Chains A and B, each alone.
Chain A
Amino acid sequence: MATLRDIKRKIDAVKKTSQITKAMNMVAAAKLRGAQENMERFRVYAEKFREVIGRLAAGVEQDGTFELMTPREEVKKVELVLLTADRGLCGSFNNNLIVTAERFIDRKQSEGVEVSMTAAGRKGRDYFKRRRYPIRRELTGLLNKPNYDDAFQLGRQLIELFLDGDADEVYVIYSHFRSMVKQEPTVIRLLPIVPEQQDELEGGREYIFEPSHHELLNDLLPNYVYNQLLDCFYMTAVSEHAARMTAMENATNNCKDMVRDLTLTYNKARQASITKELMDIVGGAEALKK
């Protein structure tokens, strides 16, 4: 049986752990608030943007005029952008994303499609690197402070990849933030673009475009890609913080349970040792009497 001192030491250790997890929980909560605010602000812009592009793209013929919107007849190579967190201690968050990526890759490979990966986030990168999976590019630190420049840089490279024929399709796996307790790994196709179709204007009125419809759409499409990426960054960042918050809260609760159990064991052991000592004394006294 563990000695009293051992149990005492264990209790102290668990208490210290719980202090750390509690602090991490609070840090995650603060970061979550900030990230969520940024996400909401960007959402206003992104949604408006989607609307505009949806209207512009409505009725565009799939005749290859807009390469970014034209599906390839034969898909041989796809690029997968996997977003994960740079850090752990956030429950199954990273693992869920990685599993989704693995399933995606398996499915594509079984169809005879080559998949190469852009690993955005340390956890996903480490995982696939350990398994010697070919990684075209690695990026880290994207989710600390999601910003337009990062989305722009990555987006431009992906567009280049697509236009050069090094990728026939580009997918992104990110974590969709549904609620505090639900973050879903989600796969979306980034390229070729499929704009959401928009209802026509009331009364069937048509827009005047300046410059031409063609130029405007060509100008907007790459921006649409950047926006989509930034949206994914924001979502994943918020999800990460939410996941970490939940994980740390659970950890703190587990610590509390452990401390309670250990304290009970400790008291029992203390009681037992006192009883034993008493017995010894009484036994000794009895022996002396005789």
Chain B
Amino acid sequence: MNMAEKLLLEIVTPVRKVLSEEVDMVVAPGEMGEFGVLHNHIPFLTKLKVGELRFKVGNATRYVAIMGGYAEVLPDKVTILATAAEEATDIDVIRAQAAKERAERRLREAKDRVEFARAQAALQRALARLKVAEKRG
């Protein structure tokens, strides 16, 4: 395999462009399971769930927390349309921790299914952020 062949990874959210970089490999949290992308992947469109996205540039691996969205994969380009996304180094751990505790409390006190589902989603987001934050280099 020719290692020189790179992919352009772009992560955009409604409020900002999080990332635009040439990378060697991307692994993203697809709704039907995690998937990896190398150069020359076939065109692929999928929904993303809340979770961790990682990518490799050379020997370094970097992590991004993704709050759900969509991914479009083309042979030389991966575009992530995320509801929100933060790279590991940008995550506010204190805030995420607080969000986690808040979500847990809401989960215990939830009165109906809607409230429960909302709390669950919030908890998932907080957990994803914390998990990714742990991996900051």
Contact = CB atoms under 8 A, between A and B. Distances in A.
A52 B15 contact: no
A41 B84 CA distance: 13
Contact of A216 (B13, B14, B47, B79): B47
Interface stretch (A9-17, A99-107, A120-128, A204-212): A204-212
B92 interface: no
A133 interface: no
B59 to A, nearest CB: 30
A158 B72 CA distance: 28
**On chain B, which size bracket covers the interface?**
20 to 34
Interface in A192-223: 201, 205-211, 216, 219-220
Interface in B1-29: 12-17
B14 to A, nearest CB: 5
Contact of A44 (B12, B30, B72, B74): B12
Contact of B15 (A41, A206, A220): A41
Contacts of A209: 44-46
B13 A45 contact: yes
Nearest to A213: B45
A93 to B, nearest CB: 25
A220 B83 CA distance: 12
Contacts, number: 61
B70 A42 contact: no
A45 B12 CA distance: 6
A208 B32 CA distance: 13
Given A45-B81, A210-B31, A205 B14 contact: no
Contacts of A55: 45
Contacts of B17: 41, 44
B127 to A, nearest CB: 22
Contact of B70 (A38, A52, A205, A208): A52
A48 interface: yes
Contacts of A44: 12, 17
B81 A207 contact: no
A60 B46 CA distance: 18
Contacts of A56: 45
B114 to A, nearest CB: 14
Given A41-B17, A48-B79, A208 B12 contact: no
B47 A42 contact: no
Contacts of A38: 15
B43 interface: yes
B44 A210 contact: yes
Contact of A52 (B16, B32, B42, B45): B45
Contact of A207 (B13, B16, B43): B43
A205 B43 contact: yes
A246 to B, nearest CB: 28
Nearest to A206: B43
A205 B73 CA distance: 12
Interface in B65-122: 70, 72, 74, 79, 81
A248 interface: no
Contacts of A148: 14
Contacts of B74: 201
Given A52-B70, A209-B45, A216-B45, 4 more contacts: A44-B17, A45-B13, A48-B72, A216-B47
Interface of B: 12-17, 30-32, 42-47, 70, 72, 74, 79, 81
Interface of A: 38, 41-42, 44-46, 48-49, 52, 55-56, 148, 201, 205-211, 216, 219-220, 227, 230
18 contacts: A41-B16, A41-B17, A42-B14, A44-B12, A44-B17, A45-B13, A46-B14, A49-B81, A55-B45, A56-B45, A205-B42, A206-B43, A208-B42, A208-B43, A208-B44, A211-B46, A216-B46, A227-B14
